[in-house]
Amino acid sequence: MEPTIIRTFGTSNLEWEDWLDRLRSLQKNHGVGMVVDVRSIPHSKRHPWFDGPALRKQLNQSGFEYWYLGKSLGGRPVQKSLYHPEGHAWFARIQQTQVFQTALSRLISASRQLGSVLICGEEDPIICHRGLMIAPALTHLGVTVLHIRRGLLVETTPAFEVRLIRASGVDPAQGSLFDGPLESSPLEAAYEWANRKSAFRFDPAFAIDP
């Protein structure tokens, strides 16, 4: 069986037609037919064409499927237990939940039938939960994750992780990226650094459940 490929693509501040043109290019060249929205809150005040209902309508009219998975794969959990004591959403703990794992399985299964692209708000996956939480979980399950950047440049997961380590300032000489306990690896340390730096922080008005 060929490896499953899932792409990610930020909405950023693009105008609708510009963003749709890029999406159509992915459809033409890579068979992408399904847009998977992983924003916890699919709303944009400044760019209303990216609001969930409007986006679904526009995409359906343009020949794309739209699937909202922000409640299960979003980066703003409602459970207080999914926030780190320091106050930020705790990606490692979210990844371990049954809701998250079930959604991943459904996503992988659907993506084998129809090419998919995950969308969130940030252009750069290094400051977005799709790159810091969803992508590594998919990679662990054998999925090839490709990040689509400006100009439709493709950033592979290995290239993303090299950039992440450099941005974090973690010294790879401290240990192997792939040997030994995961928590002691420079790569894991880089992911934790980015989690603390970029994740949504606890808001009692948003996260209210135990």
CA 119 to CA 134: how far, in whole Å? Answer: 11
Check which CATH number belongs to the domain holding 86 and give it. 3.40.1010
User: Over the stretch 72-102, which tens digit does the pLDDT of each residue have?
Assistant: 999 999 999 999 999 999 999 999 999 999 9
Per the structure, the complete domain to which residue 104 belongs is given by 5-158
Give me the pLDDT at residue 177, please. Answer: 42
Measuring CA to CA, how many Å separate 63 from each of 35, 107, 113, 205?
11, 19, 16, 37
Work out the burial of residue 84: count CB atoms within 10 Å of its CB; fewer than 13 is exposed, 13-18 middle, 19 or more buried: middle
Residue 102 falls inside a structural domain: yes
- Asked if residue 106 is part of any domain, the answer here is yes
Question: In this structure, is residue 181 part of a structural domain?
Answer: no
For residue range 13-47, list pLDDT tens digits in order: 899 999 999 999 999 999 999 999 999 999 888 88
Q: Could you please report the per-residue DSSP string of 143-186?
A: -EEEEE-GGG-EEEHHHHHHHHHHHHT--GGGS-SSSS-GGGSH
Tell me if 176 is assigned to some domain. no
Angle between helices 157-168 and 186-198 (to 10 degrees): 70
Cβ atoms of 35 and 67 closer than 8 Å: yes
Residue 182 banded pLDDT, cuts 50, 70, 90: very low
Question: What predicted TM-score, i.e. pTM, was given to this entire model?
Answer: 0.92
Kindly list the distances between the CA atom of residue 6 and the CA atoms of 16, 31, 45, 107, 114, in Å, as whole numbers in the listed order.
Answer: 22, 11, 28, 9, 10
Query: Rounded CA gap, 41 and 72, in Å?
Result: 12
In a domain, 171, yes or no: no
| Per-residue pLDDT at 1 | 64
Domain assignment present for residue 204? The answer is: no
In-domain check, residue 21: yes
When divided into structural domains, the chain yields a total of 1
Is the residue at 105 inside a domain? yes
* Distance, CA of 118 to CA of 27 (rounded, Å): 13
Q: Which of 64-68, 141-145, 201-205 has the lowest mean pLDDT?
A: 201-205
